[in-house]
Amino acid sequence: MKARVILLGLTAGVIAVVVYSVMDNPHRFDESGCMKCHLEDPVGKKPPLPLVASVKRICMDCHRKFDPSLSHPVEVSPVTAKVPADMPLSAEGQITCSTCHDIHSSHVTEFGTPSLFLRRRARGRLFCIICHSRESASGGPEGHSDIMQQAHFKYRFFVTDGSRPIDPVSSECLTCHDGSVAKLSVIGVGIWTHSGDFIGYDSGLHPIGVDYEEARRRSGGLRPSSTLDSRIRLVQGKVSCVSCHNPYSEKEQLLVMENRGSRLCLECHIK
């Protein structure tokens, strides 16, 4: 039975790769399409060519549902990060969408998988550390990337219900922040343990992957999701790592908002 499940999974994966590889390139433009981004026809001319607007604005014209607050900041100048030459900055020396992505590249890799138009084949933390070393993350020996480079992790996430998967965003977080989680694992609903006593009385425990409204109806004590601060995100209606944290936040503990007086906690919890 187990072998059959594995075979079905592999078959589905192969089919998905084949299907994606034959899909049209979403960045394939006809001759007139060049002028949507460029001020002059680029045919026969060497880049870079002047654009009709900033790279960010051009990209956002199509990627309108994209949430910039959950992605790497753009139109900022790298201070401690070391950006390699094959990941170009703007003329002003700033990071843009095209620093990491090349829209003129193939939409599939040599293996037929989505390329995401990335300039390198690395993914996840391996892509991040192209520019961000432990020191460059914060200008010193401690920082967000410090977690990435530990040789031995302590388990911090404990699955309580393997029949229900957590949201995909939390799954990505846990592949770095918990040494027991593999990149392609299907991770069940569980409890995250912070490295220390997070808010003074609950030992830093918090559920991940639970359906928020279902939990509210079952046990009470939670405010309706429609009333939550917009910075608190429920991914697919589930409590996610990004419900409380934003990897690009400048606040302590990378929180989405200040927690002075338990403000963050009380956005969801009535008491």
pLDDT given for residue 29 in this prediction: 75
**Coil vs helix vs strand at 207:** strand
| Residues 238, 158: Cα–Cα separation, whole Å | 17
Query: DSSP of 54-103, one letter per residue?
Result: -HHHHHHHH-TT--GGGS---SB--SS----TTS---TTS-B-HHHHB-T
CA distances from 148 to 23, 132, 166, 202, 248 (A): 34, 11, 21, 26, 15
- Which DSSP string corresponds to 120-172? SS--THHHHTTT--HHHHHTSS-SGGGTTT-SSPPP-EEEEEEEEE--HHHHH
pLDDT at site 5:
41
CA distance linking residue 14 with residue 260, whole number of Å: 49
Predicted local distance difference test score (pLDDT) of residue 184: 52
Rounded Cα–Cα distance for residues 133 and 191 (Å): 29
SS3 215: helix
- As beta bridge partners, residue 72 has none
Q: Judging by DSSP bridges, how do beta strands 188-193 and 234-235 pair with one another? A: unpaired
pLDDT under 70: residue ranges of the chain = 1-23, 134-155, 178-186, 195-204
Output the pLDDT for position 160: 82
pLDDT digits (tens, 9 = 90+) for 131-187: 887 544 444 444 444 444 444 445 677 788 888 888 888 888 877 776 555 555 667
Q: What does the domain layout of the chain look like in residue ranges? A: 48-141, 157-268
- Per-residue pLDDT at 178: 67
State residue 99's pLDDT score.
95
